[in-house]
Chain A
Amino acid sequence: MSATTLDSILEGRRSQPQQLIEVLQDVQDQYGYIPEEAMKTVARELGISIMEVYRVTNFYNAFSLKPKGKNVITICTGTACHVRGADLLINQARGQLNVKPGNTTTDGIFTLECVNCVGACAVGPVVIHNGTYKHHMTPGKLRKAIDQAGGGIKKKEASHGKAEAI
Chain B
Amino acid sequence: MAKLKRSEDLKTLRKSLKKKEKDFRSTVIIPNGTCCQASDSQAVIDSLKKELARQGLEKDVSIRLTGCHGFCEQEPIIIIEPGNLFYCQVTPKDAGEIVSKTIMKGVVIDRLLYRDPVSGKKVRTEAEIPFYQAQDRQLLSYNKFIDPCSIEDYIATGGYDALVKTLAGITPEKVIEEIKASGLRGRGGGGFHTGRKWEECQEVSGDEKYVICNADEGDPGAYMDRCLLEANPQLIIEGMMIGAWAVGARQGYIYVRHEYPLAVKHARIAIDQARKYGLLGENILGSSFSFDVQVARGGGAFVCGESTALMASIEGKVGEPRPKDIHTVKSGLWNKPTVLNNVETWANVPAIIMNGAGWFAAKGTAGSKGTKIFALTGQVKNTGLVEVAMGTPLHDIVYGIGGGPQKGNAFKAVQTGGPSGGCLPVSRFDLPVDFDTLGEAGSMMGSGGMVVMDEKTCMVDVAKYFLSFLQDESCGKCVPCRMGVDRMLEIVTDITEGRGRSEQIELLEELAETIGQTALCGLGKSAPNPVLSTLRYFADEYAVHINEKRCPAGVCKELISYEIDSEKCTGCGLCVRACPSEAIKGKKKQAHVIDMQECRKCGICESECKFEAIMVS
Question: Chain A: residues with CB nearer than 8 A to chain B?
Answer: 17-22, 24-25, 55-56, 59-63, 77-80, 82-85, 87-88, 91-92, 94-96, 115-124, 126, 131, 133-135, 138-140, 143, 155-160, 163-166
Return the chain B residue nearest A85 by Cβ: B607
Residues of B within 8 A of A82 (CB): 220, 465
Contact A116 B218 (CB under 8 A): yes
Q: How far is the CB of A123 from chain B (nearest CB, A)?
A: 5
Q: Given A77-B220, A115-B259, A160-B576, 5 other A-B contacts at CB below 8 A?
A: A91-B580, A116-B259, A117-B259, A120-B38, A121-B35
Given contacts A133-B34, A134-B38, contact A139 B318 (CB under 8 A): no
A18-B314, A80-B377, A88-B602 in contact; A121/B578 too (CB < 8 A)?
A: no
Interface residues of B (CB under 8 A from A): 34-35, 37-39, 72-73, 75, 217-223, 226-227, 258-261, 296-302, 313-319, 375-379, 383-385, 415, 418, 449, 451, 453, 457, 462, 465-466, 469, 472-473, 475, 573-574, 576-578, 580-582, 585-588, 593, 595, 600, 602-604, 607-608
Is there an interface contact between A159 and B297, defined as CB atoms closer than 8 Å? no
Q: A45 to B383, alpha carbons, bound, how many Å?
A: 48
Alpha-carbon gap, A113 to B74, bound state (A): 28
Which residues of A are found within 8 Å of B378, using beta-carbon distances?
Answer: 79-80, 83-84
User: Per a CB cutoff under 8 Å, which of B37, B296, B418 touches A79?
Assistant: B418
Judge whether B578 and A139 touch: CB under 8 Å.
Answer: yes
Q: How far is the CB of B413 from chain A (nearest CB, A)?
A: 10
Contact B608 A95 (CB under 8 A): no
* Residues of B close to A95: CB separation below 8 A: 580-581, 600, 602, 604
- Complex contact A163–B585 (CB within 8 A): yes
Judge whether A55 and B580 touch: CB under 8 Å: no
Give A77 to B466 CA distance when docked, in angstroms. 11
Are B585 and A123 closer than 8 Å at their CB atoms? Answer: no
For residue B72, which residue of chain A has the nearest CB?
A122
Residues B585 and A121 in contact, CB atoms below 8 Å apart = no
A108 to chain B, nearest CB (A): 21
Determine how close the nearest CB of chain B comes to the CB of A81; give it in whole angstroms.
8
Per the bound structure, the CA–CA distance linking A87 and B319 in Å amounts to: 29
Whole-angstrom distance between the Cβ of A42 and the nearest chain B Cβ = 11
Flag if A122 contacts B375 (CB, 8 Å): yes
Whether A63 contacts B299 by the Cβ 8 Å rule is yes
Are A158 and B577 in touch, CB under 8 angstroms?
yes
Q: How far is the CB of A88 from chain B (nearest CB, A)?
A: 5
Note all chain B residues with C-beta closer than 8 A to A62: 258, 297-300
Contact of A84 among B379, B578, B600 (CB under 8 A): B379
